[in-house]
Amino acid sequence: LNNKLELQLAKDENINIENTIRQFKRDCQNIRDFSVTIIEANNIPINTFLFGILEFKNKKKAFFAKNAKEQINFSNILIENIGDKLYINIEDGMSTFSLPRSDQKIQLKPEYQRLHAKMAFNYLAFLYGCDYVSQSYFDPIRAWITYGGEDKFTKHMMNKDSAIQQIIKILPAYAHAILISESNNYIFGHVIIYGHWINLIVLCNNITSNRTNKLAGLICDWRQQKEFSIENLIKEHLIKEASNGTSNASFTT
């Protein structure tokens, strides 16, 4: 791997390097069809991750390995972006597998955070009605959305709720979504932009709920011009897994 982020592979008469790399590119772009094993190892350098596709008995599996202290986390979007950016050059008997460097910065002004909170709060009202969100439990978040002030409500992170994590993993590529979850008297809003940027909003931290349905959401798959609920997303995912004989997940909504 050189300083231009080019991986040079020597020619091997027994292996068609170009076809192998092209197949790897396609596999990256179709990562959602693979079972991925996450590996954490202290001997992997910080700021480095390893990703590979293994084929065994005509079945393919993927692995993603990183240092346990590394903040980079596996996501379908990350691997799909790698596949999208790969290109191949053939020079002097060498195959060059290139991954252009891409630096992106996202800066959110305070009013954008309040906008995301308003989106989540409005969706909560859509789900349960104006009378529900008019309760005093929601006075702090309502006041902050309306008047501003210190942000005690939003973070760029993901709730550790396993159901939320499962939902995010199966979202369509680059989709937008608003998710509502409940846990331990908290109501959280999750605003997801392009399948990657996740804003967590604490809508309430002291409410008692008897609802059995603790998860709701609306997904916008703008590339396919489709909108659907979490229930429909899970249904389609489980049908797909069942047809492939790979169903091993359960969801609680």
* Amino acid 87: pLDDT: 61
pLDDT tier for residue 134 given thresholds of 50, 70 and 90: very high
What pTM does this model have?
0.55
92 token code pair: 């002097």
Max CA distance (Å), the chain: 73
Q: Which of 2-16, 45-59, 133-147, 233-247 has the highest mean pLDDT?
A: 133-147
Residue among 21, 29, 179 at smallest CA distance from 96: 21
Whether 116 contacts 201, CB under 8 Å: yes
Q: How do residues 177-199 score in pLDDT, each as one tens digit?
A: 999 988 888 899 999 887 766 78
pLDDT at residue 108 is higher than 60: no
Task: Please name the residues in contact with 99: beta carbons below 8 A apart, sequence gap of 6 or more.
Answer: 5, 6, 7, 82, 85, 86
Residue among 250, 123, 126, 139 at smallest CA distance from 188: 123
Which residue has better confidence, 204 or 173? 204
* Amino acid 5: pLDDT: 45
* Amino acid 93: pLDDT: 45
Query: What H or E segment, with its residue span, contains residue 183?
Result: strand 176-183
Tell me the C-alpha distance between 55 and 62, whole Å. Answer: 9
- The per-residue pLDDT of the chain, averaged, comes to 76
* Amino acid 193: pLDDT: 83
**Average pLDDT estimate for 93-114:** 54
